[in-house]
Homo-oligomer: A and B are copies of this chain.
């Protein structure tokens, strides 16, 4: 089956978002990242600001608290509502057009389609820290903290909603690429070769 949708999961600082955006440009297909927040907001009835903070990352309180906190009488938390809205938006996008979707558990949400190329971009720690330092204009120590914190929250969100393990597991992806060793250009080229 020809692949026409690309999901990109990525470690923070690995350049996965950048690579995904370049691939979308070069292939002339749609690119979905933060720009789907308004649609998720509309579907869930929550504010775009709230979605921005919660749609991909689990709250800082950690997975255990996450699983039990703030549920209404139906057992659904606000996070569940966000997730459900996000899921619907992603399913509709995949139906509508060829596209690149960054993060947001899209690999799992689209797992029943066979036209999806699931990519995981990871990198070596020194290169990731260097990139974060530069992009966010922060000191090295702060960059390390950001990297650990954001990956941990992405992981908690993914593991909670997918029953799969975030990152690491090659089995969940068609393609895993180490962007520090391969370089961004080569990662883009490899992904485009699979479409």
A117 to B186, CA, bound (A): 14
A168: chain B residues within 8 A (beta carbon): 168-171
Q: Establish whether residues A175 and B177, one from each chain, have CB atoms under 8 Å apart when the complex forms.
A: yes
Instruction: Let me know if A167 is at the binding interface, CB within 8 A.
Output: yes
Residues of B within 8 A of A170 (CB): 120, 122, 167-170, 173, 176, 178
Among A105-119, those with CB < 8 Å from B are 117
Decide yes or no whether A189 CB sits under 8 A from chain B.
Answer: yes
Q: How many copies does the complex hold?
A: 2
Does A182 count as interface, using CB distance less than 8 angstroms?
yes
Tell me, in angstroms, the Cα distance from A76 to B126 when the chains sit together: 36
A181 in the interface, Cβ–Cβ < 8 Å?
yes
A-B contact pairs, 12 of them (CB 8 A): A120-B170, A167-B170, A168-B168, A168-B171, A169-B169, A169-B170, A170-B170, A170-B176, A170-B178, A174-B177, A174-B181, A190-B190
CA distance A105 to B122 in the complex (A): 21
Whether the Cβ atoms of A175 and B182 lie closer than 8 Å is yes
Interchain CB contact under 8 A, A173 and B176: yes
